[in-house]
Amino acid sequence: MLDLGPMNGVEFVRRARRYAKKSGLSCHFNPSVGKGSHGRLHLGGRITTVPRKELGKGLLSAMLKDLEIDKEDF
């Protein structure tokens, strides 16, 4: 299993944008749609909620699953 290392929400959005560009998908982050310090990330036709805090392994895996991204590709 690939370990992505420590990552926060800002880094996740940055990597998602890079992945979208490489894959030819649309990517949009809307920080105003979410409670508190959370925002909504749209990648292609998929959506996930992104917190600004440090992401644990379980949360990171769940967000990648929401977006249908394989860890090795991310």
pLDDT in tens, 7-60: 899 999 999 999 999 999 999 999 987 777 899 999 999 999 999 999 998 999
For each of the domains in the chain, give its residue range(s) and CATH number, in order of start: 7-66 (3.30.920)
CA distance 42 to 31: 11
68: phi then psi, degrees, rounded to nearest 5: 55, 50
pTM for the model stands at 0.87
What is the model's pLDDT at position 22? 94
What is the model's pLDDT at position 55? 92
Judge whether residue 1 has pLDDT over 50.
no
What is the model's pLDDT at position 3? 62
